[in-house]
Structure 1
């Protein structure tokens, strides 16, 4: 019943139009959400690529810092290395992925830092040996040789004095060559230092045969002990320095592996981007096309339904208007009855009922009018007869009047005659 009324049809059409356009808008919003999710995924991939590039840059800086550190062993270079490694760790903390490559990268970075810390510890040990032992032993050795030389001069042992001076020069040369080796860590500089130690041993061996007093022998023994300690500490320093080489080599191998893993991760991200990009474009184009199609369908259906609504209202109204015009012209036979159940149909049916009642009333009036006409005709005839009778009566009255006048004249004549009599 609701849909048979104009209001119901209008409401239904509006509801259908709203549903169609709502579906188009909803699909458009849904497409935008899906597109935004895809764009977010693509952005995440771009961020991951940027993060990998940032990690590569920090790792490159760390590798340069390592290279400088194993040359200069300065605190600033050490700090730069640790800062870059810390930045890499922070980048991994922001990494949401738990892929095998990322896990391996994290473990490699931690191992790389641990190896660097081992180098730092070995360098600290080396510096401690140089400052706390090597330098002190060298100073004590030089002081002992100087005292030994003075005693030799007192004992007038010129040969010992000569070799003592030569030993002092050799010790100074050992210190100089050692410092060169500590900086260069080259095998050649190390061999030069060892050669100088051998030369010093030769000098001591020669001086051993020229000892003429117990004081010289005692000082020589002390000097020989310092030389042995001096050489032993140098060997320890050499071992400390050379123990860094396999660590540095291991770090170099690890550097290559880390760079390979970063490159693999970058390549994987690039493949994902290359795959996701065209997919996003295709999905976006499809969503746009479907949205346009739904909008066009909604628009066309809306136009059709509006046209249907207009025609469903105007057509019966036009017919109703024409019938009313006929009715206005006096055609009481017009049938207003309608099969429609809407407001126009209800109004037409009401007017149809009214016209039927009006026709009945007109029929009754017509019957009464015919009766009045018949009565009027009879009354007219009776009136005519009455008028005729009145005319006859008038004629007779005129005759009577004339007779009366004549009688009155006769009476008057009689009276006059009587008077005369």
Structure 2
């Protein structure tokens, strides 16, 4: 029923065009949404790659701070290390990725940080032993030797006085080489310190044979005990120093493992990013191609439907115009019927009815004209007969008149 009217066809064509263009627009919107999702995913991978880069930079700064710290033991370097590690942990915690891989990375970084804290604790313990125990023991031991020397002088034991001075000189030398060792941490300087302790033990062993009084013996026993404590303190310092080396080696191994994990993360992200980028480009190109195809189809359908609409209107109009021209030329037999069922078809039907009525009217007029013509012929015949009768009557009258005149003449002649 819709196609039987021009208005219906126009509405149908507009609806079809709107449907096709609507499908094209919806597909474009869907493609844009999908492209936006792809861009967001690509951005996520880019952000994660940037996070990995930032983590590597901060971890590199932490490694530099560690190297500087184990050389200078500067507290500022320790703060720099902990701050860089904190940045690394925060960046990894806020990153999105495989939970197991991130947890493994965080665990190793926690171990790395814990190892550094152990080094700091060992160094603090070393500094405490050096600056407090070792230094105080050196001062106290020097005082003990000075007191022992005074007792030896009071007891007139010159050999003990001599060895006391030698002991003090060796003690000063020991402290000096100890300071060198505490800075260099080299095995050679350590051996020098141990040799200095052996020298002290040698002096003590020699001094032991020169003790003659109980007060010297008591003071000497205190010196021996204090030297033992002094040596034990040095051994604790050595242990605090040498315990750092395995930890530093372990941290170096952890550093390599962490960098390898970060590199693996970067490689995976790069691979995923490249894959996503390639897929995104392909999908985007396919969407563009489909959009072009749908747009072309929509335009073709629009053109075809418009042509169909124009032809469905103009073709019956042209047929009707030609028939009207024939009708105008006097051809009353023209049939105005057209195939169209729309308003044009209705108008053609009305013209056809009008033509039919006109033909009927013309037929009636022709019949009436024939009757009039027949009556005119009969009237003409009657008139002609009347004329002939009149002429005959006139001739008869003339004859009668002639006879009358002749009769009158004859009468006159007779009379």
TM-score (norm 2): 0.86
Could you tell me which residue of structure 2 aligns to residue 141 of structure 1? 141
Structure 1 residue 140 displacement after superposition: 1.0
* 8 A contact 1:123–1:240 mirrored in 2: yes
Structure 1: 5+ residue stretches without partners: 397-421
Could you tell me which residue of structure 2 aligns to residue 319 of structure 1? 319
* 8 A contact 1:174–1:196 mirrored in 2: yes
Q: Give the Cα–Cα distance (whole angstroms) in 2 for the partners of residues 105 and 328 of structure 1.
A: 99
Could you tell me which residue of structure 1 aligns to residue 59 of structure 2? 59
Structure 1 residue 190 displacement after superposition: 1.7
Could you tell me which residue of structure 1 aligns to residue 181 of structure 2? 181
Could you tell me which residue of structure 2 aligns to residue 410 of structure 1? none
* 8 A contact 2:48–2:96 mirrored in 1: no
Q: Give the Cα–Cα distance (whole angstroms) in 1 for the partners of residues 278 and 337 of structure 2.
A: 66
Deviates more, 1:227-236 or 1:125-134: 125-134
Could you tell me which residue of structure 2 aligns to residue 354 of structure 1? 354
The equivalences for 1:3-402 within 5 A come to: 3-374=3-374
* 8 A contact 1:21–1:295 mirrored in 2: yes
Structure 1 residue 344 displacement after superposition: 0.9
Deviates more, 1:3-12 or 1:343-352: 3-12
* 8 A contact 1:59–1:88 mirrored in 2: yes
Q: Deviations over 1:86-121 (max 9, x none)?
A: 111111122211254322111111111111112222
Q: Deviations over 1:59-104 (max 9, x none)?
A: 1111111122222222111111111111111111222112543221
Q: Give the Cα–Cα distance (whole angstroms) in 2 for the partners of residues 142 and 385 of structure 1.
A: 192
Structure 1 residue 387 displacement after superposition: 10
Q: Deviations over 1:350-372 (max 9, x none)?
A: 22112222222333333344445
* 8 A contact 2:327–2:334 mirrored in 1: yes
Q: Give the Cα–Cα distance (whole angstroms) in 1 for the partners of residues 353 and 161 of structure 2.
A: 156
Deviates more, 1:276-285 or 1:227-236: 276-285
Deviates more, 1:35-44 or 1:178-187: 35-44
Q: Give the Cα–Cα distance (whole angstroms) in 1 for the partners of residues 99 and 315 of structure 2.
A: 72
Q: Deviations over 1:385-413 (max 9, x none)?
A: 999999999xx9xxxxxxxxxxxxxxxxx
SS at match of 1:330: coil
SS at match of 1:254: helix
Q: Give the Cα–Cα distance (whole angstroms) in 2 for the partners of residues 158 and 12 of structure 1.
A: 133
Q: Give the Cα–Cα distance (whole angstroms) in 1 for the partners of residues 379 and 215 of structure 2.
A: 194
Q: Give the Cα–Cα distance (whole angstroms) in 2 for the partners of residues 388 and 163 of structure 1.
A: 205
Structure 1 residue 279 displacement after superposition: 2.8
Deviates more, 1:252-261 or 1:156-165: 156-165
Deviates more, 1:33-42 or 1:317-326: 33-42
Structure 2: 5+ residue stretches without partners: 398-415
Q: Give the Cα–Cα distance (whole angstroms) in 2 for the partners of residues 176 and 330 of structure 1.
A: 143
Q: Give the Cα–Cα distance (whole angstroms) in 2 for the partners of residues 76 and 170 of structure 1.
A: 36
SS at match of 2:179: helix
Q: Give the Cα–Cα distance (whole angstroms) in 2 for the partners of residues 170 and 104 of structure 1.
A: 54
Structure 1 residue 349 displacement after superposition: 0.9
Could you tell me which residue of structure 1 aligns to residue 405 of structure 2? none
SS at match of 2:180: helix
SS at match of 1:338: coil
Report the RMSD for the aligned CA atoms in angstroms. 2.7
Deviates more, 1:97-106 or 1:66-75: 97-106
* 8 A contact 1:65–1:81 mirrored in 2: yes
Structure 1 residue 230 displacement after superposition: 0.9
TM-score (norm 1): 0.85
* 8 A contact 1:71–1:184 mirrored in 2: no
SS at match of 2:336: coil
Structure 1 residue 260 displacement after superposition: 1.6
Structure 1 residue 347 displacement after superposition: 1.2
Q: Give the Cα–Cα distance (whole angstroms) in 1 for the partners of residues 177 and 387 of structure 2.
A: 179
Q: Give the Cα–Cα distance (whole angstroms) in 2 for the partners of residues 127 and 387 of structure 1.
A: 172
Q: Give the Cα–Cα distance (whole angstroms) in 2 for the partners of residues 34 and 301 of structure 1.
A: 27
Structure 1 residue 176 displacement after superposition: 2.0
Structure 1 residue 150 displacement after superposition: 2.9
Structure 1 residue 231 displacement after superposition: 0.9
